[in-house]
Amino acid sequence: MSEQITMENCWEYLCTAKTQRLCELEAKVYTFLSDNFLRVLRESSVYGRLTRAERELILSLRMRGKESLIVAEINDVFERVGSRESSSIASLDERCGIYYYSSDYKDWKILTKIPEEVNTKGCGICTMYNYLFLAGGIKGHGDASRVSDQVFCYNPMTDTWSEIRPLHQPRAQLKLVSIDGYLYAIGGECLFTVERYDPRMDRWSPVAPLPKGAFAVAHEATTCNGDLYVSGGSLFYRLLKYDLKRDEWQECPYNNSRKKSADMLAYKNFIFRFDVNREQGVNVFKYNAVLKMWQQCASLQQENLGAFKCALMDSCIFCVTRSQLLQFSVEEGKEHFVNGSFKAPLEARGVLHPFTLHLPNDE
């Protein structure tokens, strides 16, 4: 019976398992609900009947695997002559890949190939409920290219890709952020607008747009203490905060740095901003979201470091470049770059975007 569980009969099986005290079957149904969590959220006939404890259980089961550092290989927004993204025909092996770092092998392993229909150039990326989401981007090449409104997600528990409801507006070079069970698509080329995705309703809805003067291309976004923050890019030293309850943007104190930011991440009450200077290296600034104060907390002297993106795992921020992976400890009051680094995936040839997922079977 447990091998025949589907979305149509899972509630019936769960009731049978509870009534007849079939513990193994009950566990298998909960695992099925967890593995297909997004679909379950949209089914009121299933999710609406679950108790609060059961909802927490199936969500916790999505995190049952080992948290792993992962990088997605993304195509450069700016096409280069002779590059693989400038070709309209790509073989299966040339598709962008997603790699995870295996602590057992001390090396990177391929997790999945990104399907051809998924736009990887100029897309927004984030994780939520242990799913990976890719939204917007640029579809096609050269004169035939156009901005996309498509949104895809990858489920590591089932190793499957699927498409969800498209954005209201096509967007490229947007930021995609998850907070409080929603996705936020922020800005994009020539766009001030912001929209929010509700996974239970499978619907995108507009929210307050970015303030005037916040031309949101190449910016960074993160969440801290239940609020959403945007900075960097053409905003430079400005920091904007979005209040979810009031549906409004607020101006935060300016950062003293005038350099371009590489990325921005939050840990506890602090937002860490990494500013890059090719000749000097990286300066790290932190913003106390409670006291509303900036201060410089660390630096790394390294020439020709290049652009990078960051991901937080445990109490360490991993900064991923094409050639190396730096580690920055965020232990309060002792923030510092950790001595030593290890290589990024050698097979990856695109822009590397790091994040974390819990992978099943301790992969």
Do residue 197 and residue 103 come from a single domain? yes
Tens of pLDDT along 280-290?
A: 789 999 999 99
Burial of 279 (0-12, 13-18, 19+ CB in 10 A): exposed
Do residue 48 and residue 192 come from a single domain? no
What does the pLDDT profile of the chain (363 residues) look like in tens digits?
A: 556 999 999 999 999 999 999 999 999 999 999 999 999 999 999 999 999 999 999 999 999 989 999 999 988 776 543 444 444 434 444 678 999 998 887 889 999 999 999 999 999 999 999 999 999 999 988 888 999 999 999 999 999 999 999 999 999 999 999 999 999 999 988 888 999 999 999 999 999 999 877 765 658 899 999 999 998 765 567 899 999 999 999 999 988 776 777 899 999 999 999 988 777 789 999 999 999 999 999 999 987 777 789 999 989 999 998 878 899 999 888 999 998 767 877 666 778 999 999 998 744
CA 175 to chain centre: 9
Do residue 47 and residue 95 come from a single domain? no
Tell which of 13, 32, 61 closes a domain.
61
Do residue 40 and residue 88 come from a single domain? no
The pLDDT of residue 82? 43
Tell which of 20, 42, 61 closes a domain.
61
Range of the domain at 113: 66-362
The total domain count for the chain is: 2
The pLDDT of residue 2? 52
Q: Which helix (H) or strand (E) holds 213?
A: none
**For the chain, what is the radius of gyration of the CA atoms?**
21
Do residue 14 and residue 112 come from a single domain? no
Contact 123, 133 (CB under 8 A): no
**Three-state SS letters, 235-277:** HCCCEEEEECCCCEEEECCCCCCCCCEEEEEEECCEEEEEEEE
> What CATH number does the domain containing 105 carry?
2.120.10.80
The pLDDT of residue 89? 38
Do residue 112 and residue 252 come from a single domain? yes
Tell which of 15, 35, 61 closes a domain.
61
Do residue 26 and residue 126 come from a single domain? no
The pLDDT of residue 359? 95
Do residue 162 and residue 202 come from a single domain? yes
Angle at 98 between CA 201 and CA 322, to 5 degrees: 125
Do residue 36 and residue 157 come from a single domain? no
- Say how far apart CA 307 and CA 84 lie, in whole Å: 20
Do residue 55 and residue 76 come from a single domain? no
- Say how far apart CA 114 and CA 136 lie, in whole Å: 15
Do residue 266 and residue 137 come from a single domain? yes
DSSP for 82-97?
A: TSGGGSS---GGGS-E
Contact 51, 11 (CB under 8 A): no
The pLDDT of residue 105? 79
Do residue 182 and residue 126 come from a single domain? yes
